[in-house]
Amino acid sequence: MHEWALVDAVASAAETAAEQEKLKKVDAVVVVLGELQNVDRAAARRLFAELRKTKKKALHRARLEIRAEKAVFRCRACGKTFGLRDLNKLSHKESEAVHFLPEMAHVYTECPACASRDFEIARGRGIYVREIRGER
Ligand SMILES: [Zn+2]
């Protein structure tokens, strides 16, 4: 229940933010979802619709909006940034492995500029709340 834990964390964060901003009614919770975070969006929305009922009343009619964030890798050797699509040597199976376990990118690929395997994942992991819209 990987989605459940993520969506519950989002709903809790939204609840806290709504309290801090003294919102009486939250219309939308906008989250950014990294490309490397394997989440079924339809399932996430359905879960949110369930989980919001367990939170404070302000959240009961909130809608979950999901914005995608492309993955960005940054080479530690030469500083070049590149995306998943630049890792074009990956087979379908390898690409799936990278999605599930981003650390595996190091095993399967290298920097397209200098061929170093020393790179980091700069963006595209995790899920976070970007914005909460509602009424005071
Ligand atoms: Zn490089």
* Among candidate residues 7, 10, 34, 6, the one with its CA nearest the CA of residue 125: 34
Domain residues for the domain of 107 are: 72-122
Say whether both 65 and 30 belong to one domain.
Answer: yes
Identity of the amino acid at 59: L
For strands 127-135 and 119-123, give the pairing: unpaired
CA angle 51, 54, 57 (to 5 degrees): 110
Say whether both 48 and 107 belong to one domain.
Answer: no
Query: In angstroms, what is the span from residue 80 Cα to ligand 1's centroid?
Result: 6
The model carries a pTM of 0.79
pLDDT digits (tens, 9 = 90+) for 55-99: 999 999 999 999 999 999 999 999 999 988 777 666 777 777 777
* Protein residues near ligand 1, an ion, with CB under 5 A: 75, 77-78, 80, 111, 113-114, 116
Instruction: Give the whole-angstrom CA distance, residue 28 versus residue 26.
Output: 6
pLDDT digits (tens, 9 = 90+) for 5-49: 889 999 999 999 999 999 999 999 999 999 888 888 899 999 999
pLDDT score, position 94: 76
Q: How many domains does the chain have?
A: 2
Say whether both 62 and 102 belong to one domain.
Answer: no
Query: In angstroms, what is the span from residue 104 Cα to ligand 1's centroid?
Result: 17
pLDDT digits (tens, 9 = 90+) for 105-122: 766 678 989 989 898 989
Say whether both 37 and 86 belong to one domain.
Answer: no
pLDDT score, position 84: 82
Query: For the chain, how many helices (H) and strands (E)?
Result: 4, 6
Instruction: Give the whole-angstrom CA distance, residue 100 versus residue 80.
Output: 24
Residue count (the chain): 136
- Where does the pLDDT of residue 100 fall: very low under 50, low under 70, confident under 90, or very high at 90 and above? low
